Structure formats: structure tokens, C-alpha cells
Amino acid sequence: MKARILDSVDVLKIVDLLSEQGYEVVAPFHREGQDSYFDVVTPANRHAVRIHLPNPLYPPKRFIFPHIERLMTFRQVNGDLQIQATHEEPRRAIFGIRSCDLAGIGHLDRYFLGREFRDTYYEKRRRHALLINVVCSDPQRDVGDDCFCVCADTGPAAREHFDLQLMDLGRGEFMAVAGSPAGQALFQSPIFRKAKPAHVERRRAILAEVRKRFKTHTSWFSAAVRYLSQDKVTERTWEEIGNRCMECGGCTYVCPACTCFTVSDRPIGDGQTERVRIWDSCALAGFTRMAGGFNPRRAVHDRRNRRFFRKLAHYFVQRELSMACVGCGRCVTVCHGNIGMPSVVEMLRRTTAGVQEHEPAIR
Amino acid sequence: MNPPSAENIYLPRVAVLDRVEDNIPDVKTFYWRFENPADQRAFRGFHPGQFVQVTIAGVGEFPASLPPSPTEDQIFFTIRQVGGCTAALHRLRPGDKIAVRGPYGNGFPMEQYQGKNLVFVAGGIGLIPLRSCIVYAIAHRSNYGRIAIFHGAKTPKELMYRDVLAACQQTPGVECHLTVDRGDNGWEGNVGVVSSLFKKPGVAMPVENTVAFVCGPPVMFRFVIRDLLAMGLTERDIISTLERYMKCGVGKCGHCCIGVAYICVDGPVFTYEQIKRLGEDI
Ligand SMILES: Cc1cc2nc3c(=O)[nH]c(=O)nc-3n(C[C@H](O)[C@H](O)[C@H](O)COP(=O)(O)OP(=O)(O)OC[C@H]3O[C@@H](n4cnc5c(N)ncnc54)[C@H](O)[C@@H]3O)c2cc1C
Ligand code: SF4
Ligand code: FES
């Protein structure tokens, strides 16, 4: 992968370059405290785009897999039925996407574009999306209290899925790494100059330091993946987790790796209806309800079980080449019951370790 | 990533209702064809046990089994009225337009079962997905051994597809037995649960080299499975369909996911051995 160096003062010129190339650019902005958000860059707010800030709670996933997305419209005229697919193929760049969220998009790619069917709508939005990754290099401003990408092996520096990766090397310099031909094409701009071995060395040193500065959370996934895949998690453990779930669905809505949606038809006037898909949550009671009121996942702990099983079971990890958790820590932030991913992994690990089973027999 | 495809997996094709037939209370059969003959031709290759996603414009979309066998000329589905979409469908008349996409799902492995005896056990509208296999097996009669069909319903009026079953009974090597929970004045047949038929005098239920197709309400399923296992069938010889809440039918929305399976693409047909491994209720 080709690397270049640019001055810190020129970093936002990449946003301008992309705008000039016809991209709608979305980028992160910071209000105060933990309040940060992604928004479309305009001439009016361009100066306020931030590189170092808390990762926004509402992940940029929505620019490729929107919260609500129209799929088609139906019109009935004189006994005829007309169906119109409604595609959007925006030429959009996501500037400042963090490594965890990038891994989330990698997961979505394998899920929506893999197996028997390719998701038409996802594909169209994804095809023209340009992803400009920013490495979390500042433990104070970039790494949140709940982050654990190091445990999920997705960060702080992504190794794939980006078109261009930017990293603050300090001393007024950034390193840019091209991950695709589209990213490399940007190097034609005069803001980029050649990198020296010392730059690579500085990058390595900074990353080594950041990795050590992660905060409170660790998530020892591998034990959890194993116990859960071998069906060793006790019913009691699941119940305990379920008892803490307030069924708000928050964890699924902030998750960069969640994919579930529901489909709904609604009138849009003029005798027409539209079909939309809307993010859905396996934490909500209606998720699996069927005709006759029979609900195969009635108990709350069954639903909790489902979320973690789907994210961590070895079968799915193998099929999708990754867990459906990228270690962003958002579910930790939003969960009132303290059953974000790391604490669930810890509960599974602790209560299932079955101490005696592993102790040597002395007889 | 797979190569880009031109096909929109969510886009249904317009179809016309040709004929609507009353079956049992609240259940009707809708005969339809795609408006575009090319869609109709492309659809012909479906397998018994597959399903479609049916759109009622302005109301919504729902999954429906394909009760016809690919060996038949007409395409139709049989639908019980339970809520918004199904009630709206029940209000439609011949000539009205719907939209359909599919076929989806794995279907029953009818070819793998060549040379075997086939037992069909259907409770109520559980006969809808099995109708396809029954008609298919009879159309390929020489490929299969003996065929025994058991169908039960609450009352005689609720027995499904009486004409098809009557025709089966005329076929050599095929036997068909009916039962109801409650008889009425004209009913001279068996009264009792469907598994009570298995050991009746005059019933020759094959057990060796046999596959049992079982579809029906959960209570029936549990009792029938218990009896079939006791008679010597293995868990792998029992096959059924799982109906789960489905929104997309193509493995994306996540609603039908149980255990490690997405019912819409990995199923809806599973052996009892697989169902047990999924760790879910039927
Ligand atoms: C693979 C498969 C094949 C099926 N085949 C047939 C068939 O051949 N004939 C038939 O009559 N029915 C069949 N069903 C059931 C049928 O899809 C539901 O009865 C139908 O979706 C209800 O939609 P509705 O809008 O009328 O009901 P709603 O107004 O949406 O709801 C009424 C009730 O039905 C439940 N329900 C809603 N949507 C679904 C859904 N997608 N799947 C299951 N339950 C749902 C609701 O939770 C509620 O309890 C099948 C279901 C599946 C999954
Ligand atoms: S499960 Fe939690 S920590 Fe993992 S990706 Fe989703 S929101 Fe982030
Ligand atoms: S019905 Fe959507 S994933 Fe199976």
C-alpha cells in the first residue's frame, strides 16, 4: 500500500478535493463534551470538520445502510399495477470514518453482498462510496472510555476496507495510505509528498503507544466464542443477562455491525404507496411473532441470547470471516442494564468456565 | 464480493389473479399467472416445498408456500385469512393484480428420496406445503415405493384438498386416510388425532426405507414425531417445514434466523434431526 505525507494544515483540503470531484462528503463535527456527529460538509461548515474528537454515537453506517430506505413505489391505475424500484446511487465520501466503523462496513459487505443473494440497495450505495479512514492516534481525544477495538482486532489502525487512511504523526504531519486505486488517485494533488522511513517508524511508535492507552474495557472474546459455540453457556447465565435487558433496542441501533431490518408499506398520497425498510432490533418483543400469537423466542433472555449468539457463534464467524462486533463500545455507552458486549463476554466467560472441569484431578 | 447483478432481489413482478376458489372456512386458493410470459416461464423450475413472497399493493408482503407441484400446469397458493395482507388478498377478485417474487427456500429433496416409501402426515393447513410433494410423487410414481397419506382436521369441513386426496386414492400403491377431531352428521370416517390412524386395522404404514413428511400445528407435530420414532423411523427420516416470521425471504432482514440457520435460505425444509440441532420449538 502506497504511503504519502502531507502537512496537518492541508488535511481538510482532501475534503475539498473530494467535493471538487463531485462527491457529497460527510464528515465528523464536534459540539462539546461527548457530543459529536457526522454531517454533510458544506461551504458553511467546512472549517468545523474535526479529525480528533469522540467517535459519534450514531455510526456512519447509515450513509450506506440508511435507518429508513425506500425500496419501491406501487401505483394502481385503471386496474393496472405499476411497480417502480427507487434506487439511490449517491457518489458519497465518508471522511473521518474510524477503523471500528470501517470494519463494520466490511462486515456489512460480506453479509449483504455474500451468500445466495446480493442486496441490491446496499450494493448501489456501497459501489460509489469512498471511505477515508482516520486512525485513532490521540488516546485523549480519539479513544473513548468504552472503546475496545484492540480486543476485536479492528483498530486503532484499520488494515483493509479503506480507500484512503489518514494518521496524525504529530509535528505538523499526517501520513496518508492508499487502500484502493480511487484513494491512490488522490495522491496526484500537490499537497502530498513522499514518505521517509522515519515516518513509518513514527507511525509504528505512535500505534504501539495508543494500544497501551486503551481505557477501562477489555473483551476476552475467544473464551466467549468457544463456550457459546459449544453450547456450554448455562440457562442461568442467559437468564441473568436477559433480566438486565430493558428491551429498548438501543444497542442494535448504535451498532455498526447490526443488519436487521423490517419492511413496511405506507401511503404517500396520490393513490400511491411506498415500501420502505427500517432498521429493526432483535431485542424488541415483536421481532419473531407469528400468526396465531405463537412466538418462538418469547422470553427476554432468548432474545438477548439471540443477539450475542448471532454476533459471536463460531458458525457465523467462519461464514462471515469476522465476529459481528467491531469493538466500538457504543452498546456499552447506551445500555442502562450494563449488558454491553464486554460485560456479556465477561459474564459468559466467568459463569461458564466451570472451574472444576478445568482443574487437574489429583487422584 | 460477488459480481454485481442486474436483478433487484426485492422487486416483485406483477401477476394476475385468474380464479379464486373457496376451500375451507377462512381459506381460499388463488390461481394466478405473471403478467409477463417471460416471468412465468422463469418461474416454472420451482421445487416442492419452496415459497414465494406475495405483495398486496398498498397493504404489504407476506410469505406463502407453493402448494402446486411443478408437474402441474397452474400456479396457485392457498391462504388462510389471519391479518392485514391475507385479509386483503381474500377481498381480491379474478382480474385483480398482485405481485410475486421467488421461488425461495430449499424445498424438499424429492430426488434424493427416490426409491423410498413416502409417508405424509398433515394436520389442518399443514397439508398446503405437502400437497406439492404428494402431487409430485404421484406424477413420478415409478420413482417411489409405497405412499401413505394421513390428513387430520378439526372437523370434516376443514379437511383440505379433498379432490386431490380422492384422486390419490385411485392410484395403485397409494393409500390415503382421513381423520377429524369432531365428526358431524355425514361423517363416517375416523375420529381422533392423526397419529391414531397409524396402527388402525386396514392401514399399512411403511416403516422400513421410509421418509415421513410431517406438517401441522406444534402440538400435533410433537405427538406425531413421538409415534414415528417409536415405530422405528430415525430423526433423519422425518422432514418438515419451519414457518417463521419472515420479512425478506432472501437471507437479509434477520427475522427468520434461529440457531445457526436463516430459515428463508437454509430452509424452510429441515429434517427433524436438523430441527433439534437448531434448538427451537417447531
Ligand atoms: C415459509 C412460509 C410459508 C407460508 N405459507 C403459507 C401458506 O401457504 N398459506 C398461509 O395461509 N399462510 C402461510 N404462511 C403464513 C403467512 O405468511 C402469514 O399468515 C401471513 O404473513 C400473515 O400476514 P398478514 O398480513 O395477513 O397478518 P398480519 O396482520 O401481519 O399479522 C397477523 C398475524 O400473523 C403474523 N404474521 C405476520 N407476518 C407474518 C409472516 N411473515 N410470517 C408468519 N407470521 C406472520 C403476525 O405476527 C400476527 O400474529 C407461511 C409463512 C411462511 C414463513
Ligand atoms: S456489539 Fe457493541 S461494541 Fe460491538 S460493534 Fe456492536 S455496538 Fe460496537
Ligand atoms: S426472511 Fe429475511 S432473513 Fe429470512
Q: What is the pLDDT of residue A125?
A: 95
Mean pLDDT, chain A, whole residue set: 90
Q: Is the pLDDT of residue B3 over 50?
A: no
Same domain? For B123 and B232 the reply is: yes
Residue B166 lies in a domain: yes
Measured distance CA(B128)–CA(B216) in Å, rounded: 10
Q: What is the pLDDT of residue A290?
A: 52
pLDDT tens digit string along B185-200?
A: 888 889 999 989 998 8
Q: What is the pTM of this model?
A: 0.91
Q: Which of A72, A73, A89, A118 to mutate to test the interface with B (most CBs of B within 10 A)?
A: A118
Q: Is residue B163 classed as helix, strand or coil in its secondary structure?
A: helix
Same domain? For B191 and B219 the reply is: yes
Q: What is the pLDDT of residue B6?
A: 64
CA A127 to chain centre: 17
Q: List all residues 6 or more positions away from B46 whose beta carbon is below 8 Å from its beta carbon.
A: B66, B70, B102, B103, B107
Q: What is the pLDDT of residue A124?
A: 94
Instruction: Give the residue with greater pLDDT, A288 vs A310.
Output: A310
**Of A200-214, A230-244, B203-217, minimum mean pLDDT range:** A230-244
Q: Is the pLDDT of residue A155 over 90?
A: no
Measured distance CA(A165)–CA(A159) in Å, rounded: 9
Measured distance CA(A45)–CA(A58) in Å, rounded: 19
Residue B258 touches partner A, C-beta closer than 8 Å: yes
Q: Is the pLDDT of residue B281 over 70?
A: no
CA of A90 relative to ligand 2 center, distance in Å:
27
Cis peptide bond prior to B103, omega within 30° of 0: yes
Same domain? For B117 and B230 the reply is: yes
pLDDT tens digit string along B143-181?
A: 999 999 999 999 999 999 999 999 988 898 999 999 999
Measured distance CA(A49)–CA(A58) in Å, rounded: 17
**Interior angle at CA B44, CA B39 and CA B50, nearest 5:** 105
The residue of chain B with its CA nearest to that of A296 is B281
DSSP states of A138-202:
-TTTTS-TT--HHHHT--SS--SS-SEEEEEEETTEEEEEE-SHHHHHGGGSTT-EE--HHHHHH
Same domain? For B126 and B208 the reply is: yes
Helical segments of B23-80, H only: 37-43
Same domain? For B123 and B213 the reply is: yes
Picking from B104, B131, B148, the residue at the C-terminal end of a domain is B104
Average pLDDT (B263-279) is: 91
Same domain? For B45 and B143 the reply is: no
Q: A115 vs A315, B8, B35, B223, CA distance in Å?
A: 14, 15, 30, 36
Measured distance CA(B41)–CA(B39) in Å, rounded: 6
Average pLDDT (A189-199) is: 96
- Grid coordinates representing A3 are 504511503
Evaluated on CA atoms A201, A202, A205, A211, the torsion sign reads negative
Q: Is the pLDDT of residue B4 over 70?
A: no
Residue B5 lies in a domain: no
CA nearest neighbour of A290 among B233, B262, B217, B148: B217
Q: What total number of domains does chain B contain?
A: 3
Residue B8 lies in a domain: no
Same domain? For B205 and B132 the reply is: yes
Instruction: Assign B134 a pLDDT band (cuts: 50, 70, 90).
Output: very high
Ligand 2 shell residues, CB under 6 Å: A 254-257, 325-331, 340-341
Residue B4 lies in a domain: no
Residue B2 lies in a domain: no
CA nearest neighbour of B29 among B106, B111, B89: B89
CA nearest neighbour of B138 among B151, B149, B127: B149
Instruction: Assign B204 a pLDDT band (cuts: 50, 70, 90).
Output: confident
Same domain? For B80 and B24 the reply is: yes
Picking from B73, B104, B135, the residue at the C-terminal end of a domain is B104
Ligand 1 nearest-atom number relative to CA B63: 17
In Å, how far is B46's CA from the nearest CA of chain A?
16
**Of A141-155, A194-208, A279-293, minimum mean pLDDT range:** A279-293
Q: What's the one-letter identity of residue B192?
A: G
Residue B32 lies in a domain: yes
CATH number where B54 lies: 2.40.30.10
Q: Is the pLDDT of residue A354 over 70?
A: no
Residue B76 lies in a domain: yes
pLDDT tens digit string along A229-269?
A: 888 888 888 888 888 888 888 999 999 999 999 999 999 99
Same domain? For B97 and B185 the reply is: no
Q: What is the pLDDT of residue A294?
A: 53
In Å, how far is A54's CA from the nearest CA of chain B?
31
pLDDT tens digit string along A278-308?
A: 999 887 766 765 545 555 544 545 655 788 8
The answer to whether the CB of B60 falls within 8 A of the CB of A264 is yes
Average pLDDT (B129-147) is: 95
Same domain? For B63 and B130 the reply is: no
Picking from B88, B104, B120, the residue at the C-terminal end of a domain is B104
Instruction: Give the residue with greater pLDDT, A352 vs A213.
Output: A213
Average pLDDT (A113-139) is: 94
* Model ipTM value: 0.90
Strands A92-97 and A24-30: parallel
Q: Is the pLDDT of residue A17 over 70?
A: yes
**Which structural domain, as residue segments, surrounds residue B66?**
13-104
Same domain? For B51 and B141 the reply is: no
Residue B164 lies in a domain: yes
- Grid coordinates representing A142 are 480519539
Q: List all residues 6 or more positions away from B277 whose beta carbon is below 8 Å from its beta carbon.
A: B259
CATH number where B125 lies: 3.40.50.80
Q: Is the pLDDT of residue A128 over 70?
A: yes
Instruction: Assign B259 a pLDDT band (cuts: 50, 70, 90).
Output: confident
Same domain? For B135 and B217 the reply is: yes
Question: Are B58 and A76 within 8 A, CB to CB?
Answer: yes
Measured distance CA(A23)–CA(A65) in Å, rounded: 18
pLDDT tens digit string along B40-94?
A: 999 988 999 999 999 999 999 999 999 999 999 999 999 999 999 999 999 999 9
Question: Are A127 and B253 within 8 A, CB to CB?
Answer: no
Helical segments of A313-354, H only: 314-320, 330-334, 341-352
Q: List all residues 6 or more positions away from B25 whose beta carbon is below 8 Å from its beta carbon.
A: B157, B158
Q: What is the pLDDT of residue A291?
A: 46
